[in-house]
Chains A and B, each alone.
Chain A
Amino acid sequence: MPDMPLSQLSLSLVTAFFIGGIAGFLGSLMITRRMALVSGPLGHLALPGVALGLVYSFDIFWGALATIAIGSFFIWLLTLRGGRLPVEALTAVVFSSTVALGFLILPIEEAERALIGDITTVTPFDALLAIVLSIVLFIIIRRIYLRSVLLGISTELALSRGINARKYNFIFLVGIALVVAMEVKIVGILLTAALMAIPAAAASNFSRSMTQYRNLGLLFGGASAVMGVCIAEATGLAAGPLIILTGTVLFLASLLFAER
């Protein structure tokens, strides 16, 4: 990664912190709900949109979001008409087809940017979008957080409390899709699941309550993104993988503190 001018570096750091933070925050709820792997397929669904964005020079966030939405809609349609196939089989069909389609569109010289992200090209608009969207998602997910945990423990108990399971799960999935679409810019489509799962997994080992868990998830996600960018700046290596590997180091350290 080439040396960035200071203003570009600060934009990158701010963007990375907010996206990493909200990814770790949501990640804690995803792990709790046993959905840690959901963001992987969603990231893959983003590829055609990212490819189109890179070919026609529009913001890859919107491209990613559009094809994630279309792909998820297709999976949902197939679950209605897919006979006896389980959802994960239908998801596999759709997301691998989408990846194949994406590679047809993606110019090979842009492959690295699509697959592992490129934080050096973030614009002030990207930074603003990351800040606003992360804060809005933080507020919304925080409101449904404990009740979503309750849904995971017992759907029936939650339903009897008047918790609308479909609504809560839908909000949660839309939140995950939005974070994945933002993540594509900084860690690429291949590493979206990692940024949501690894800092949160580290946070889990340090936490003695859900409140600690989600706050540490946010902190670890933000911190590993910022440290990843700094290490990339110092070493000239790609930021995306470094962000993930910083999280991995945090996770390994957390194992020393794991109580169970």
Chain B
Amino acid sequence: MHGDHHHDTLLTVHNLSVELGGREVLSNISFGIQSGEFLAILGPNGSGKSTLLKALLGILPSSGTVTWSERPLNISFLPEGLSPEKFRESPLTLKEFFREKTDSHEKILEAFSLVGLKEQDILDRNPGELSAGQFQRMLIAWSIIDKPDVLLFDEPTLGIDIGGEETIYTLLHKLWKGTGLTIILVTHEINVVFAYATHVLCIRREKLFSGEPKEILTPENLQELYGSAIRFHTPHA
């Protein structure tokens, strides 16, 4: 489990390029991540953020090197586009969905309580029947149930209200805080990056900037990242 491995190098990426359908989607990206970081990957639509996550996982052909720490790592990934509708196409139950990770009822309920999913009688129901907020909490429970060292999260449903005062991001932050869990989050919500990320990597096919959000996310840099289309939102408290 996490906790013991603060500040060792978790991941080193060197000259990573990805070509999809003859088009270079990512070009010569290099960066490193230390254990325990909360890294946000920021960039406009089509900048290659999702592609980068998949290349890190090795589920896309790429060139360059992606070197994870040599200690055994449990990496958990939530791709974009997991919707209740997808689950409603079959009678799969929550219990069956979690069987990929565990058979234990207790573990599932423990993960449910970690993410604030109070309903315990939903195990025999279809994930697609959950409310949008419950569904997001359930996915996070699924991704953390086997106590991962690294959590890769691709654009969790944006700004969705998952009930109470919480958002997906405050929940992730709560789960991350005080543990050695490393989170790599793809997002395009700048206020989220300011509020929660320890580091930020800005890409638009190529790496533009990286570092601590306060230092990196200057109006000039954001202008360069997003072009003239950028509109600044007042970060909510």
A residues whose Cβ falls under 8 Å from a Cβ of B: 32, 34, 146-147, 149-150, 152-154, 156-157, 159-161, 204, 207-213
Contact = CB atoms under 8 A, between A and B. Distances in A.
Contacts of B89: 32, 34, 152-153
Q: Which 7 A-B pairs have the closest CB atoms?
A: A160-B77, A156-B79, A159-B59, A32-B90, A209-B93, A207-B91, A210-B92
Nearest to B82: A154
A208 B96 contact: no
B79 A211 contact: no
B79 A160 contact: yes
A149 B95 CA distance: 13
Contacts of A147: 100
Given A156-B59, A209-B124, A149 B92 contact: yes
Interface string B80-103: 011000110111110111011000
B91 A212 contact: yes
Contacts of A204: 91
Given A146-B100, A156-B54, A157-B82, A210 B77 contact: no
Interface of B: 54, 57, 59, 75-79, 81-82, 86-87, 89-93, 95-97, 99-100, 124, 152
Given A149-B92, A157-B77, A213-B91, A208 B124 contact: yes
A146 B96 contact: yes
A154 B93 contact: no
A103 to B, nearest CB: 38
B59 A208 contact: no
Nearest to B92: A210
A153 B93 contact: no
A157 B53 CA distance: 12
B81 A160 contact: no
Given A152-B90, A160-B79, A161-B100, 8 more contacts: A32-B90, A146-B96, A150-B97, A153-B92, A156-B54, A157-B77, A160-B59, A210-B96
Given A160-B57, A160-B77, A213-B91, A146 B99 contact: yes
Per DSSP, chain A at the interface is helix
B177 to A, nearest CB: 25
A209 B77 contact: no
Nearest to B75: A160
Nearest to A208: B91
A150 B124 contact: no
A149 B98 CA distance: 12
A153 B87 contact: yes
Contacts of B87: 153
Contacts of A213: 90-91
B82 A209 contact: no
B57 A149 contact: no
A23 B61 CA distance: 36
7 contacts: A146-B99, A153-B82, A207-B91, A209-B95, A210-B96, A212-B91, A213-B90
A154 B100 CA distance: 13
A127 B82 CA distance: 44
A146 B92 CA distance: 9
A187 to B, nearest CB: 26
A208 to B, nearest CB: 6
Contacts of A209: 91-93, 95-96, 124
A33 B216 CA distance: 45
Contacts of A152: 89-90
A160 B55 CA distance: 11
A154 B90 contact: no
A21 B187 CA distance: 47
A239 B27 CA distance: 62
A59 B78 CA distance: 49
B98 to A, nearest CB: 10
Contacts of B57: 159-160
A156 B78 CA distance: 9
